[in-house]
Structure 1
Amino acid sequence: MSLPVLVVLVVFGIALSVAAVHFTGGTTTATFATADQALARFAQDFPDEKPGAVRLTSDRHAAFLELGSQRCGIVHSIGDCFLTRIVTPRDVLALVREGSVVLLRMDDFTWKGGRFAFANEADALAMAAALQARDRTRKAA
C-alpha cells in the first residue's frame, strides 16, 4: 500500500471516529433542569448530607448547595457527567467575586475550580461568603 493511500485511510478513520463520538452525544454538556435535579444528583454521592438552599449557575452547568458550618456542596457538569464535591474554605486557594460572577480556584488536583456566573448578585455573594475563610485573607491568583 502506498503512503498517500495510507494517509487518506488514517485521516478518514480519525474523522469517522470523531463524527461517531459527536453524533452519539459525546460532545454534549449535562445541565440541570431544576434545583431538585441538582439535589438528587448530590444525594447519590452524599446521602447523609442535608443540603439547604440550592443555587444554580445561569448556564445551569453547576449547582452550589448550602451545607452549613462553612461547608458547601458543589455539583458541576463535566461533559455528560457530574462531579460532586463538599468544599470548605480550607479547600479554596483563591476566590474572587465580581458582581454575579464567582471565580474559584481549588486546592484539588482533580478539579481546579472555574468561573461561575449566577443569575443574580445575591446568589454569588452568598456562595462567596460560604466559602470565604474567616482566619486568613484570600488573594486572587
Structure 2
Amino acid sequence: MSLPVLVVLVVIGIALSVAAVHFTGGTRTATLADAGQALARFAEDFPDEKPAAVRLTADRRAAFLALGPARTGIVSSIGDCFLTRIVTARDILALTVDDPLTISIRLGDFTWKGGRFAFAVEADAKAVAAALQDHRTREAA
C-alpha cells in the first residue's frame, strides 16, 4: 500500500471516530435540572451531609450547597458527568468577585482547580462569595 493511500485512510478513520463520539453524545455537557438533582447528586458522594441551601449557576452546570460553618459543597459538571467537593478555607487559593453576578474560585486541589461561575440572581452570587470569603476569614483568624 502506498503512503498517500495510508495517510488518507488514517485521516478518514480519525474523522469517523470523532464524528461517532460527537453524535453519540460524547461531547455533551451535563447540566442540573434543578436544586433537587443537585442535592441528590451530592448525597450520592456525601450521604451524611445535610445541605441547608442550594444555589445554582445561571447555566445550571454547577451548584453550591451551604453545609454550615466553614464548609461549602460544590456540584460541578465535567463533561457529561458531575464532580462533587466539600470546600473549606484551606482549599481556597483565590476568590474574586468579577462582577455582581460572577465569582471566580481557584482551589488547591490538583484534580479540580475551580472555575468561573455566573449566577442568574445577584443575591445568589453574593451569598456564595460571602460564604467562601467567610471560610477564608475563619481560617486566617
User: Is this a same-fold pair by TM over 0.5?
Assistant: yes
Between the aligned partners of 2:7 and 2:34, the Cα distance in structure 1 is 48
1:102 corresponds to 2:103: yes
Q: Which has the higher helix share?
A: 2
- RMSD over aligned CA atoms reads 1.2
AA at the equivalent of 2:79: G
Could you list the per-position Cα deviations for residues 26-65 of structure 1 after superposition, in whole angstroms to 9, with x for gaps in the alignment?
0000001110000000000000000011000000000000
Instruction: Determine the structure 1 residue equivalent to 2:122.
Output: 121
Instruction: Determine the structure 2 residue equivalent to 1:14.
Output: 14
Between the aligned partners of 1:129 and 1:86, the Cα distance in structure 2 is 16
AA at the equivalent of 1:32: L
Could you list the per-position Cα deviations for residues 44-90 of structure 1 after superposition, in whole angstroms to 9, with x for gaps in the alignment?
00000000110000000000000001100000000110000000121
SS of the residue corresponding to residue 13 of structure 2 reads: helix
Instruction: Determine the structure 2 residue equivalent to 1:46.
Output: 46
Between the aligned partners of 1:79 and 1:53, the Cα distance in structure 2 is 25
AA at the equivalent of 1:104: I
AA at the equivalent of 2:128: M
Between the aligned partners of 2:85 and 2:36, the Cα distance in structure 1 is 17
SS of the residue corresponding to residue 38 of structure 1 reads: helix
Please give the TM-score of this superposition, normalised by the length of structure 2.
Answer: 0.94
Q: Give the number of aligned pairs.
A: 137
Between the aligned partners of 1:101 and 1:112, the Cα distance in structure 2 is 17
Between the aligned partners of 2:52 and 2:15, the Cα distance in structure 1 is 46
1:24 corresponds to 2:24: yes
SS of the residue corresponding to residue 47 of structure 2 reads: coil
Please give the TM-score of this superposition, normalised by the length of structure 1.
Answer: 0.94
Instruction: Determine the structure 1 residue equivalent to 2:5.
Output: 5
